[in-house]
Amino acid sequence: MKTKKVSLPKESILNNSNFEYVDSFQTIYHDPLNQISSKDIAIAFFNGTPKWTETLFSIRNKIVSIFGLKTPNKTQDRERILHNFQCKPGERIGLFKVYHTNANEVIMGEDDKHLNFRISLLKDSNADNVTEKKLTISTTVTFNNWFGKLYFLPVKPFHKLIVPKMLKGIVHQIDHKANALSK
């Protein structure tokens, strides 16, 4: 499975917004029976995060809480929350609020006093192979003040490392679900 950096897809709803930073990464996943929904992809986003990133986010949360920035509430029952997750606008898991969802895309993110960010999880048919689909994860950031720009300076290199790894984890989760559904 190859992950590549791409432009923000034209089909993404994020193209209808203003932002100062954007990146997009794309890979292929298998869905021979076309049963993987955008909700399945969103759940895989939360389950597919590499374990080492949890340590980075924990450090991030301790540091930014000093400055009054938003941090996710600690949850004891993540599996129950994900099981009940409907992927509806306004719904929240941790730091991520769902802003939009349709059959092919989920937009999540957060608005904070220093910056606003959105993440798009966009599935797309791969014309070369009907059993394979393209999955693109895109991130946009809008800075609300100079602190947002300062905050993002050290985050940006980690972000560019983490997102492709997350994409691989998402695809692993999706492939597992697709295999289970096809049996």
Residue 48: pLDDT band with limits 50, 70, 90: confident
Q: pLDDT tens, 22-42?
A: 999 999 998 888 889 999 999
- What letter would DSSP give residue 95? T
Classified as helix, coil or strand, 52 is helix
Q: pLDDT tens, 84-98?
A: 889 999 999 877 899
Q: 96-105, long-range: CB within 8 Å, 24+ apart, which pairs?
A: 96/46, 98/42, 100/13, 101/38, 101/39, 101/42, 102/38, 103/37, 103/38, 104/11, 104/38, 105/11, 105/12, 105/13, 105/38
Residue 8 has pLDDT above 60, yes or no: yes
For the chain, the average pLDDT equals 84
Class of domain 4-181: alpha beta
121, 114, 99: which is closest to 45 by C-alpha?
121
